[in-house]
Structure 1
Amino acid sequence: MNPSTSKAEEATNQAQPEELQSTSSQFDKYRKPDGSIDYDYFYNNPHEGNMQLECTIVRHMLAQIKIGMDLGKITLPTFILERRSLLEMYADHFSHPQLFAAISEGKTSHDRMMAALKWYMSSFHAGRNYDVAKKPYNPILGEMFTCYYDFDKSTPSKPVLDGPVPWANDRSVAFYAEQVSHHPPISAFYAEHVANKVICNAHIWTKSRFYGLSIGVVNAGRAVISLLDHNEQYIFTFPAAYAKGILSVPYVELGGSATAVCPQTGFKAEIEFLTKSLWSKAANRLTCKVFSPNDQVPTDLIEGEWTGVLKLKKCPGSKNSPSKDQVFIDVTATPIHQKLVRPLGEQQPKESRFLWRYVTAALFVNDVDLATKRKSEIEQFQRDEAASRRSNKTDYAPKNFKRVQADDDESPWWYHPSLIDRLQKGSQIKLE
């Protein structure tokens, strides 16, 4: 056992059986030479083993809920779960790490605003591992996920031993996520590129409602990009998500408004994610208006598909507007880098892949009953932990995140020790 492992983590590990037990030989082809199951295989091969959605079960579930009902307490059938935690899904927002690192390289504040928008608009498409909409596992309180993206191998690098991912280097993008609250279910995540001094602090939690033929998910919270060399922050909100076609083949669309604001320079952007309509079959579209400081008329206009090509368009009334449409970004031609995750044998008990390994393995071989059983064990363990805290009259304290304003429930969560802490420049950045 890792000497830094807490008693709670030891209990989590002991609460689960040493190995999956099955009366069949369904796991035999996934065993290592020593006979143990290779759980890393199930995570590293996400496209295999997909199950067909059983619409009769979905209809049975929908018959129990009413239009407008909050779905926060509805348990979805295990067979429609994606084989990973929600914390890991958030890491996919950095699958274009080169765009995240490049935000600080803009020569002007306008260039950096546009670079931040380019990363943000390209960050939604990379996590589509399934052709149909599936729901990741709900993280339990205290769950963690760590990974990094090693995309710049041509430049000499050095390890960042005091960072959130000590096995990453200063030219990679390191990512750390933690479930910091259960009610409401808040996930917080942090990313950094040390060489360019770019960091991201974010917190997000979802509220779901049933609308008859779709499920709407409001993503509350925000992401704050900090450029330490420029003393600038870019504060983003998130669009809503809609699961449609739930009686046939479910798919996900993003919809609604989001904003991006830089308080230090005055640049701001209004982003509208557009869903399919009766008069238009176009999908995954957005439009973005960028405003310079003190301007009431947009200086830049971006339109297109966030899953394809976004164009910088001629913007009437703007002196800096291009004379003709230009490609702002083509995400299909932008390299996606795979996250690098430690093998499960090196992970702590509450790291996502280790924690959910039995559920993931069972779903991979389509054993829904076994997956449901293992999922229930994890959920029961979370309830037992909560009962123990109530009995001892103690509050839960996240491992690496703190609220910026401890007495404000709406305040964002900030990772510590962040790159700001480690460079001892905290006084230069005001936490918004």
Structure 2
Amino acid sequence: MGTPGENQGKGGFFAAMTSGLSMFGNAMHRSVNGLLGYEGVEVINPEGGKEDAVEEAQRGRWKQEERDNYWKMMQKYIGSDVTSMVTLPVIIFEPMTMIQKMAELMEYSYLLDQADKCEDPYMRMVYAASWAVSVYFAYQRTWKPFNPILGETYEMANHGGITFISEQVSHHPPMSAGHAENEHFTYDVTSKLRTKFLGNSLDVYPVGRTRVVLKRDGVVLDLVPPPTKVNNLIFGRTWIDSPGEMVMTNLTTGDKAILYFQPCGWFGANRYEVDGYIYNAEEEPKILMTGKWSESMSYQPCDSEGEPLPGTELKEVWHVAESPPDDKYQFTYFAHKINSFDTAPKKLLASDSRLRPDRWELEKGDLSKAGTAKSSLEERQRAEKRHREAKGEQFSPKWFDLTDETAPTPWGDLEIFRYNGKYTEHRRAVDSSNSDDTTDVKSTDFSPWQYPDLSV
């Protein structure tokens, strides 16, 4: 399979939608498929002809020798979950971690503010569902984020009055938890990523739970996103599709938004398209929604048959923001913002993703130092695991607590981590401090560790 859109870059591959994203089943098999077992070995460009397919096969992301060696190594994993099984070369990474990427769901948080202010229960769902769709433009990046180190965190401030904290709460299986809050809403997510490697493609199952509480009326929203398929991991140019249903349920009233992400067809047919309805508790359609997750979403009141009401017209509710032209990593302006220290709060935690030496070196363009730093971090994490097991100890996250609750998802049961409120207390104490700390935060050593350096 080849690239379906002009915005796709040449780099690595996507491996994560937490939920932050959190973000999957049978619908993926209706997407553009290659050969079973060796999916996508024959490269097909859904927006071009046979000549384009041959050209894409020759371009790829790898040098010929690198690609062949990687293909030989990866064949044994076909059909497996490779979430944390395989050590990957730093050349395919973007200078961001998965728990940073969770914060990208906050770019269009004003839509949740609007949902909280809205008195019409169905328009409230229009705003909230548009917020859930909005992140997909950013999530189509084809570079892979770094896997977080156990205990790693990410903090965001200075955006829409939001306080955001995420933490890697488990390494095997990889699990992250996040919490965001402003005057209009709270957002909580537990994410456990599962994957299925199919040769030249990867199915991504977001085994997660996302809950949003709108503060004015105490409305609780639950989000189940569609699956994601990463095409052309090795052969051809990598691109991403998310075919299937997104379901957002108002657990307070029973209203629902059900939006269908169309699978990309031959020659790019239906690429990016999203269509669906806002339903009341009696499952009657009240508002239709349509658009493209790469551009905008619109809505229109409809009758009980789902047809637009006479005298009404489509109105746009969300439009994607302008992106930097020819950006190396396909970052949006907001991605650059959350990757910078501009959104860092006062006295950043030493466990913050921005301080990772491998991420930092990759951002500076030194792949050699980035690779060495990545290997060093992973080895120290393994040493901590061995030490922890030898002492019979368990890892305990700082900002989230493991509960007794297990939530069913379409892709398996999920253990739920709950925000414990300690970060709010920590941030309040730091922000109210009168100390004039002029320390350059960039000089802070990255430290998510449970123990002193075991290699010393």
Give me the whole-angstrom Cα distance separating, in 2, the residues matched to 1:321 and 1:266: 23
Paired residues for 1:59-74 under 5 Å: 59-66=68-75, 67-72=78-83, 73-74=85-86
Partner residue, 1:350: 351
Secondary structure, aligned partner of 2:260: strand
Q: 1:101 aligns with which of 92, 107, 113?
A: 113
Amino acid at match of 1:54: W
Q: Secondary structure at the match of 1:60?
A: helix
Structural mapping, 1:53-202, within 5 Å: 53-56=61-64, 57-66=66-75, 67-72=78-83, 73-126=85-138, 133-151=142-160, 172-193=161-182, 195-196=183-184, 198-202=185-189
Aligned-partner Cα distance in 1 for 2:192–2:94: 18
- Per the TM alignment, residue 263 of structure 1 is displaced from its structure 2 partner at its CA by 1.7
Contact 2:259 2:275 in 1 (8 A): yes
The structural deviation recorded for 1:420 is 11
In structure 2, the CA distance between the partners of 1:55 and 1:327, relative to structure 1 (3 Å rule), is: farther
Q: Deviations over 1:200-258 (max 9, x none)?
A: 00111221222233222111112100123312100001222222233222122222222
**Distance across 2 between alignment mates of 1:113 and 1:262:** 8
Q: Compared with structure 1, are the counterparts of its residues 101 and 403 closer, same or farther at alpha carbon in structure 2 (3 Å cutoff)?
A: farther
Question: Any gaps of 5 or more consecutive residues in structure 1?
Answer: 1-51, 152-171, 423-432
- What is the aligned-residue identity percentage? 22
Structure 2: gaps (5+ residues): 1-59, 324-332, 408-412, 427-456
The yes-or-no answer on 1:291 pairing with 2:291 is no
State the Cα deviation string for residues 48-71 of structure 1 (Å, max 9, x = none): xxxx93243234222333442322
**Paired AA for residue 200 in structure 1:** Y
Partner of 1:9: none
Q: Is residue 122–residue 278 contact of structure 2 (8 Å, CA) maintained in 1?
A: no
**Alignment length, in residue pairs?**
342
Computed over aligned residues only, the root mean square deviation of the Cα atoms, in angstroms, reads 3.0
Given that 2:74 and 2:199 are in contact with CA atoms closer than 8 Å, whether structure 1 keeps it comes out as: no
Offset of 1:304 from its aligned partner?
A: 1.8
Q: 8 Å contact 1:312–1:328 — kept in the other structure?
A: yes
Shift of 1:184: 1.4
Q: For residue 266 of structure 2, give the secondary structure of its aligned residue in structure 1.
A: coil
* 3-state secondary structure, aligned to 2:396: coil
Contact 1:306 1:331 in 2 (8 A): no
What secondary structure sits across from 2:82 in the alignment? coil
Residue 265 of structure 1 and its aligned partner are, at CA, apart by 0.4
Aligned-partner residue type, residue 371 of structure 1: A
1:282 matched to which residue of 2? Answer: 270
Output the TM-score relative to the length of structure 2. 0.68
The residue number in structure 2 matching 1:12 is none
- Tell me the amino acid that sits aligned with residue 62 of structure 2: E
Name the counterpart of 1:230. 217
- Do the aligned partners of 2:406 and 2:416 also contact (CA within 8 Å) in 1? no
SS at match of 2:404: coil
Tell me, yes or no, if the aligned pair for 2:193 and 2:205 is still in contact at 8 Å. Answer: yes
Using the TM superposition, give the Cα deviation of residue 80 of structure 1 relative to its aligned residue in structure 2, in angstroms: 0.2
In structure 2, the CA distance between the partners of 1:308 and 1:385, relative to structure 1 (3 Å rule), is: same
Whether the aligned pair in 1 keeps the contact of 2:130 and 2:297 (CA below 8 Å) is: no
- Shift in Å, 1:320: 9.6
Deviations 1:70-128 (A, max 9, x none): 22312222100111111111111101132232221011322322221121111322466
In structure 1, C-alpha distance between the alignment counterparts of 2:316 and 2:248, rounded to whole Å = 17
Separation of aligned partners in 1, 2:91 and 2:391: 37
Determine if contact 1:222/1:238 at 8 Å carries over to the other structure. no
- Structure-2 change in CA distance of 1:210 and 1:346 (3 Å): same
> What code does the residue aligned with 1:416 have?
N
CA contact (8 A) 1:268 1:291 kept: yes
Counterpart CA distance in 1 for 2:374 and 2:108 is 32
